[in-house]
Structure 1
């Protein structure tokens, strides 16, 4: 791994929190992700399943975590199963975790090779009444590929039909949404790398540069600072490309007078940052661009103040909609008649701001979190309003990542990333 070692006490705490929510005499199993094939002998780069990572710190394929808090024997309460390493694997693929190193990473004392999994599971299931299966129930999930986790669940249900079934996901949705201090530090590190990349780009951008060249500047800065790269597919959208919300081609030339919407974030130790800034190709905003930019910035700042403990998701977005409506009226993009005659299901402001304002952030860019439950301290959210005006040839979105505090306004993890017009123009013209 490129990132520095993480204190195993984080994973010890995470497992203890999960175990405390399990029903008596129950077992939970978590699988690594597959190595996904491309063609011939090629695979995509490995990305660990976030749940086993959250509970163990093991960032390696073909790994299984078993939790059995009420096991009759101490060595079965927490068990890791790893692919057995050897000299041949070390030469061809690089070192894999040894049993000793797995303990240093996870704090789990009982480590078996994967070949022993079915034998140990059979013993464990003879003691247990209930199995926690780990299904993907994220509100944005749309999974067509059968995952390693899904194959295990199918196999387990066929082989142990008499056991009761519970779901791990609701527990993990709550636990993962509230960050430990170590996790906030890792998120801050990811945001700091994003800052480095953005400052590099501010000094690089000029008329006629290609969008993919800007993407390359970000990638260079991220990887040289121990990141694997982007936390998600980057959006480098110049001119009218910014009005395509998920534009990822990044293959157009940036023209003088246009704006570039940069939706980019570095990952660090599998934790995501998620930043959006909008900058002028020529280093100076036009009067109209400034007017719209500052309107978006005001919405972001006001929306941020609403992210406090007890806030409900739907009510939050209703309030942000009111703030945005006021700004669009001021810009002359909508009028009072538009507001009076609006469809409550699709308010007038949605013509220019059609997406949500915030989402949970953490190990996933769109992280776990139950949206029907009130916000709590140490949840981390993005704040990302935008105004998109195809007729005027530009779109503006601004986004920061913030941590909800017990009292007062959220703590901005991107507080050091330039966002005010004057600072952006100053750096670009230095």
Structure 2
């Protein structure tokens, strides 16, 4: 891994918190992701399943974690199963985790090779009544591929049909949404790497550069800072491309007088950052561009103040809509008649600001979190309002990542990334 070792106490604490919410006489199982094939012998880069990483720190394929807090045998209360390593594998694929290395990174003392899985599982399943399976119940999930976790669940429930089945996901949704101090520091590191990339491109952008050249400048800075790359597919959208919310082609030339909307973030140690900035290709905003830019920035700043413990996610978005409505009236994009006659299910402001303002962030860019439950201290949220005006040839989105505090305004993890229009112009010139 490119990232520096993480204190294994984080993973021990995460397991302890998870096991405290399990039913009596139950065990839970978590699998690594597959390495997904492309064609011939080509594969996609491996990405670890966030849940097994959250609970163990293990960051390699063909790994299984079993938690059984009530197991009669103390050594089987936490078990890791790993792909057996040897000298041949080390030469051809690189060194895999040894049992000693797995203990060092996870804090789990009992480590078996996968060849022992069925034997050990039979023993501990006879000692338990309930098995927790790990299903993906994220509100944005839309999965067509059968995962390694899915296949394991089929096998386990078929082999042991008399066991009760419970779900890990509701426990993980709540645990993962509230970040440990170590996790916040890792997200901060990802944000700091993103800052380096952004400052790099401020001196690089000029009329005639290609969107993909800007993308290349970001990835250069990310990789040299121990990131393995982008936290998500980057958006580098110049001119009217910014009005396509998920524009990812990044293949157009940046024209003088246009704006570039960049939605880009680095990952670090599997933790994510999520930044949006909009800058002028020529180094100066036009008066109209700056007027809209400052309106978006005001909405972002006021929306940020609302992210406090107890806030309801749905009500928060209603209040942000009111802020945006006021700004759009000021920009003469809508008027009071539009507001008076609006459809409550699709308010007038949605014509120019059609997406949500905030989402949880952490190990996933759109991280775990139950949106019907009040916000809590140490949750990390994005704040990302935008105004998109196809008729005027530009769109603007500004986005920071913030940590909800026990009291007072949230802590901005992107506080050092330039955002004020005047500062952007100064740095570009």
TM-score range, shorter chain: over 0.9
Deviation at 1:109, TM superposition (A): 0.1
Task: Describe how 1:9-408 pairs up with structure 2 within 5 A.
Answer: 9-408=9-408
Query: 2:113 & 2:199 partners in 1: Cα distance?
Result: 46
**Shift of the alpha carbon at 1:148?**
0.2
1:127 match: secondary structure: coil
For 1:130 and 1:5, locate their aligned partners in 2 and report how far apart those are by CA, in whole Å.
34
Q: CA deviation at 1:156?
A: 1.0
Q: Distance in 2 between matches of 1:116 and 1:324?
A: 59
CA distance in 2, matches of 1:262, 1:29: 39
Give how far 1:187 is off: 0.2
Q: 1:320-356 CA deviation, whole Å, 9 max, x = no partner?
A: 0000000000000000000000000000000000000
Within 2, Cα distance between the matches of 1:331 and 1:154?
56
CA shift at 1:306, angstroms? 0.4
1:183-217: CA deviations, max 9, x gaps? 00000000000000000000000001000000000
Q: State the distance in 2 between where 1:169 and 1:135 align.
A: 6
Helix, strand or coil at the partner of 2:388: strand
Partner Cα distance (1:119, 1:205) in 2: 60
Aligned mates of 2:117, 2:428 — CA distance in 1 = 57
1:21 shift after superposition = 0.4
SS in structure 1 opposite 2:203?
Answer: helix
CA distance in 1, matches of 2:307, 2:118: 46
Q: How many angstroms does 1:68 deviate by?
A: 0.1
Partner SS for 1:156: helix
Distance 1:90 1:353 in 2: 52
Relative to the length of structure 2, the TM-score reads 1.00
The number of residues matched between the two structures is: 429
Q: Distance in 2 between matches of 1:101 and 1:131?
A: 28
Please give the secondary structure, in 1, of the residue aligned with 2:3: coil
Superposed CA deviations along residues 343-389 of structure 1, whole A, max 9, x for unmatched, are 00000000000000000000000000000000000000000000000
In 2, the alpha carbon distance for the partners of 1:201 and 1:122 equals 56
Calculate the aligned-residue CA RMSD, in Å. 0.3
Q: What is the CA-CA distance between 1:421 and the residue it aligns to?
A: 0.8
User: After superposition, what is the alpha-carbon deviation per residue over 1:146-195, rounded to whole angstroms, capped at 9, x for unaligned?
Assistant: 00000111111111110001000000000000000000000000000000
Cα offsets for 1:120-156 (capped at 9, x unmatched): 0000000000000000000000000000000111111
**Separation in 2, partners of 1:399, 1:117:** 45
1:14: Cα distance to partner? 0.2
Output the CA distance in 2 between the equivalents of 1:165 and 1:310: 32
- Alpha-carbon deviation of 1:289? 0.2
- Cα distance between partner residues in 2 of 1:201 and 1:256: 16
Q: C-alpha distance in 1, partners of 2:118/2:8?
A: 27
Q: CA deviation at 1:422?
A: 1.1
SS at the partner of 1:29? strand
Distance apart, 1:284 and its partner CA: 0.2
Q: Distance in 2 between matches of 1:322 and 1:154?
A: 48
Distance 2:11 2:39 in 1: 36
Q: Please give the secondary structure, in 1, of the residue aligned with 2:402.
A: strand
Once the two structures are TM-superposed, the CA of residue 26 in structure 1 deviates from its matched residue by 0.2
5+ residue gaps, structure 2: none
Secondary structure of the 1:396 match is strand
Q: Aligned partners of 1:152 and 1:51: how far apart in 2? A: 15
Counterpart for residue 422 of structure 2: 422
